[in-house]
Structure 1
Amino acid sequence: METPNQKPASSRSWMVAAVLLTAGMIIGFVVASDLGWLSNGHAVPDGGGAPLVRPVATAPQPVLPGMGSQTFVEIAKAVKPAVVNIYATKTGKGDGAHATPFDDPFFRKFFGDEFFRRFEQQQPKEKKERGLGSGVIVDSNGLIITNNHVVGKADEIRVTLSDKREFKAKLIGTDPKTDIAVVKIDATNLPTVAWADSDQLEVGEFVLAVGNPFGLTQTVTLGIVSALGRAAGIAEYEDFIQTDAAINPGNSGGALVNVRGELAGINTAIFSQSGGNMGIGFSVPSNMARSIMDQLVKTGKVVRGWLGVSIQELTPELAKQFGVLDTKGVLVSDVMDDSPAKKAGVERADVIVEYDGKPMDSPTHLRNAVAQTPVGKKVSVKLIREKKPKTIDLAIVEQPKSMTQSGEEESAETVAPTGILSDLDVRELTDEVAGRYGMKSTERGVVVVRVKPGSTAEETGVREGDMIIEINRQPVTSLKTYERIAGKLPADEAVLLLLKRQGRTIYLTLRP
């Protein structure tokens, strides 16, 4: 007998069947959708045959500002054929080439010629040092630019192209001061990379590094321009592009290209504590590399322009001393005799703010600009003198072969004045003092023989052996003038020193 709350068995069975039927339809729909049996506009059966499998979409390649319609894939395809492997071999003498006791006739007689011959045979006569790097084809007739440290001292240079062809290369010329070298192979119709104007590069811009790290051919890495105008202390003339594109050993001499596939730099060095990439790589800018290459190809050597000034960074302290509103500019600490600058009227303490139409913001920038100026070219130099703007026109001449002064050169008396200069001990410039510090006894000034450890002077950069030639723009010609000027200095004011160090003059500001 049914209770009031009970439902007929037939009703319960119907409900279970309905639930199962609904679940089956849902599962079937999901499976059919996953297998592509349902029409979705992308994959439909072909004439009633097997269903088409919908392909996984490829991520779209980014097209960045300035790239035009190119993608990184297209840039890499265009550049890689113009980047080559360079194998450089240097043959040197091994240990067996050094003199030994057996070269002495007495030892030969004592041990016998047979023993001597066997000893000789066991010694290496020569050893071969092999270097591996990269290069960039910049002329279809086989002209290749690379680094000096890759091929500079090689006895044999071999180049392998992207199509596996191998050539023996001829060294056209090298420039250790910028670490640039040019080699040539006997081939024609080669792929090349167009030059970029590296002056147009900006920090944050995408770049690709192409080379052969660790001998792995045709490797491309992506990064950005991290900084410009870097000096890394590895070459005499440096204006490096810094990038975080992965650069490793073997990349040296390879290409750094911009988003238009143009050669913006020659990869040269890495900053690394492990020997591998740490996200800091340096490249010689294309404008500098191209200028050096052109000279090497035409004359086999590099001729640099010369202005004839000693220059230094314009710090906020120095800018205040010389009445300059900001630190954009380069401070002239000395003007050399018989130089273009001297003849044109450039003076010590001038602040150069523009050279040949380009603003100058660092000594490195100005030095490189002058060096790359063609000899004989007339340039305009804008500067600030005594807080007033001034323009000077001059003609650049060839840089002298030696611009360093040779030195020769203590006093019985040491002076330690009170006040801000009390951290320095100085002496008259005598033959004895001059001889100790490599100076000329005919020079005028006093020599710092001791700097108090931990003092402001030491922290500011004053060193033993510095010659003080000016205090607050007043010349120091002797110990007496030094004492007279130093004795009148207010204890609570900054002091501007002009120092001579290893033939160069620099300004320093000491603050109480």
Structure 2
Amino acid sequence: MRPIPTFSFALAALVCGALMPGLAASRMLPDFVDLVAENAPSVVNISTKQAPVTVEQLPEFSVPDLPEDSPLQDFFRHFFGEDGELPNDYLPSRSLGSGFIVSADGFVLTNAHVVEGAEEIIVRTSDRREFVASLVGTDKRSDIALLKIEGEGLPAVKIGTAQELKVGEWVLAIGSPFGFESSATAGIVSAKGRSLPTENYIPFIQTDVAINPGNSGGPLFNLDGEVVGVNSQIYSRTGGFMGLSFSIPIDVVMDVVDQLQTKGRVSRGWLGVLIQDVTRELAESFGMKQPRGALVAQILPGSPAEGAKVLPGDIIVTYNGRDILTSSALPPMVGITPVGDRVKLQVLRGGELVDLEVEIGELPEEDQLAARSSEPEKASANRIGLFVSELTPEQREQLSVTGGGVLVDDVERGPAEQAGLSSGDVILMLDNQTVQDLAGFNRILDAIPSGRSVAVLVQRGDGRMFHAIRVP
């Protein structure tokens, strides 16, 4: 036998050592087999029958006069009949989604948009049984619907909590993407407390779990087999999964369920402020070392915030003892606060911390404010590139401005344009001082040292927002 060179042993040891970390890492990946087997029976497919579309609901249409030998004749006869008239109604349309059983006696959770407008809701379990569900209630703001099917001993999920979720933690979704029932996909938690443009009262869980149309309303599980969220939305430019999916935290969902079962409706806490994030430039203008908190741009009339003497320009830094790092963190905290509770606010006002107490009201339905229109009288341009003028009584009424403020007539190239101001804006505050009139505005502006960033409170349409302007 030929002797084996010693360097071959060294090479083999080196190769094995290089492979071991990869092998060890592969062993650490989670195994979802048991998790899927235990929970798939609790996940259901949901289809709905919508109300039939009648002739009266359709736009006027007449069958074109086609030659008898035209290939389109068969097409129009199929849909419009031999006489060319529309049938009395069409087959009802169906929508597909997912859901899951939360109690052995047949309560089922799904998304509100899955069952919206449904004339009949059909729940199909993994063992091919079908139930006609009754709608207990819906909450459009959280996009949650509670259904009830008749049954006993049904396989219910285990309810967990989203509060203990950590970014990077493995999660699993089971649902019916594109109608393919009992499909399982896995990923990690990408972020927590996401605020979406469609709903800022829900602190969404962001994941990279593959969620597609049909997954809506399905459960999101942690590795302990507990439901931690309800899959609700995806970010997509194509209509399919692109790596961003959003789930409603189960803690929020179960609060909605409790209210639907006990009251038949859902109420949320309301503070009555319009807020915005504190940018680096705004933080500098307010004398803050770093951006934090929720900057109050507007107080709604008759709101709890107005009664508690919260002022525009206040920066809410704590809510009931909890720090507010970004403005998106505040609405969910307020929303889950029971109506009538008194909570403590700490606001930064004029560089000093001020403690306030407010009684939380109930979030009302959205109201629309009057639109604005004006034909202003121009004034001279100022050092930040604005043409501003006094507000006439008619303009104040049209723009719903009570006391103080100046109207931006035009914006030329300069700091104000860079900050996002535009003609028609009403400037209410400058450098943390209330603007009473044109003379007061000019006096405040003239006193600002060159090179300093200042906050400007602007009313635009039906909203107010702070902008940071660096004075040249």
| Match for residue 494 of structure 1 among 453, 456, 459 | 453
The Cα of 1:100 is off from its aligned counterpart by 5.6
Kindly provide the amino acid, as one letter, of the partner of residue 185 in structure 1: I
Pick one of 332, 349, 357 that aligns with 1:368: 332
Tell me the amino acid that sits aligned with residue 85 of structure 1: N
Contact 1:409/1:440 (CA < 8 Å) preserved in 2? no
Q: CA deviation at 1:270?
A: 1.3
TM-score, normalised with respect to structure 1: 0.77
Q: CA deviation at 1:92?
A: 4.0
Relative to structure 1, the CA distance from residue 254 to residue 322 in structure 2 (aligned partners, 3 Å threshold; closer, same or farther) is same
- Give the RMSD, CA atoms, in angstroms: 2.9
How far apart in 1 are the matches of 2:86 and 2:377? 64
2:183 & 2:334 partners in 1: Cα distance? 36
1:343 is aligned to: 307
Equivalent residue in structure 1 for 2:434, among 475, 487, 491: 475
In structure 1, stretches of 5+ residues that fail to align are 1-21, 24-58, 65-70, 103-115
Task: String of CA shifts for 1:419-446, please: whole Å, max 9, x gaps.
Answer: 12x1x333432366468xx512645312
Q: Which residue of 2 aligns with 1:464?
A: 423
Give the corresponding residue for 1:67.
none
The separation in 2 between residues aligned to 1:273 and 1:100, in whole angstroms, is: 33
Structure 2 CA distance for aligned equivalents of residues 277 and 314 of structure 1: 32
| Equivalent residue runs for 1:6-25 within 5 Å | none
Structure 1: distance between partners of 2:462 and 2:422: 14
The 1:449–1:301 alpha-carbon spacing in structure 2 relative to 1, beyond 3 Å, is farther
Matches within 5 A, 1:225-236: 225-235=189-199
Please say if residues 286 and 455 of structure 2, whose CA atoms lie closer than 8 Å, have aligned partners that are also in contact. Answer: no
Counterpart residue number, 1:419: 383
Partners of 2:102 and 2:157 within 8 A in 1: yes
Aligned to 1:142: 106
Is 1:444 the equivalent of 2:404?
yes
Q: 1:170 offset after TM fit, Å?
A: 1.0
Whether the 8 Å CA contact 2:159–2:228 is kept in 1: the answer is yes
Deviations 1:228-275 (A, max 9, x none): 222332335342111111111100001111121111111111112222
> Is structure 2 residue 38 aligned with structure 1 residue 83?
no
Which residue among 92, 97, 117 is the counterpart of 1:153? 117
Q: 1:209 to 1:101 in 2, by over 3 A?
A: closer
Shift of residue 225 of structure 1? Answer: 0.6
Secondary structure class of the residue paired with 2:228: strand
Q: Which amino acid aligns with 2:423?
A: E
Counterparts of 2:61 and 2:255, CA distance in 1? 52
Task: Determine helix, strand or coil for the equivalent of 2:159.
Answer: coil
Provide the residue aligned with 2:231 in structure 1. Answer: 267
Deviation of 1:60 after TM superposition, in Å, equals 8.5
In structure 2, what residue type is equivalent to 1:457? A
Q: Is the 8 A contact 1:96 1:120 kept in 2?
A: no
Give the Cα separation in 2 of the matches to 1:96 and 1:353: 55
Q: 2:355 is aligned with what amino acid?
A: T
**Change beyond 3 A, Cα 1:449–1:137:** farther
Q: Secondary structure at the match of 1:457?
A: helix
Which residue is equivalent to 1:218? 182
Aligned residues: 432
Q: Deviations over 1:114-138 (max 9, x none)?
A: xx99747444623522110001211
> Which residue in the other structure is 1:176 paired with?
140
1:165 aligns with 2:132: no
Letter in 2 for 1:223: G
Does residue 280 (structure 1) correspond to residue 244 (structure 2)? The answer is: yes
Give CA deviations for 1:84-115 in whole Å, capped at 9, x if unaligned: 1000121242556558699xxxxxxxxxxxxx
Structure 1 residue 489: deviation in Å? Answer: 4.1
**Which SS does the other structure have where 2:92 is aligned?**
strand
Report the CA distance shift for 1:100/1:153 in structure 2 as closer, same or farther (over 3 A).
Answer: closer
In the alignment, structure 2 segments of 5+ residues that lack a partner are 3-24, 63-79
- Paired residues of 1:468 and 1:476 also in contact (CA < 8 A): yes
Counterpart residue identity of residue 259, structure 2: Q
User: Does 1:509 pair with 2:468?
Assistant: yes
Alpha carbons 2:49, 2:94 under 8 Å: kept: yes
The answer as to 2:391 corresponding to 1:429 is yes
Could you tell me how far 1:496 is from its partner in structure 2?
Answer: 1.8
Q: How far, CA to CA, are the matches of 2:343 and 2:298 in structure 1?
A: 20
Report the residue type matching 1:507 in the other structure.
F
- How far apart are the structure 2 equivalents of 1:482 and 1:92? 61
Distance 2:160 2:442 in 1: 57
More relative contact order, 1 or 2 (CA 8 Å, 6+ apart): 2
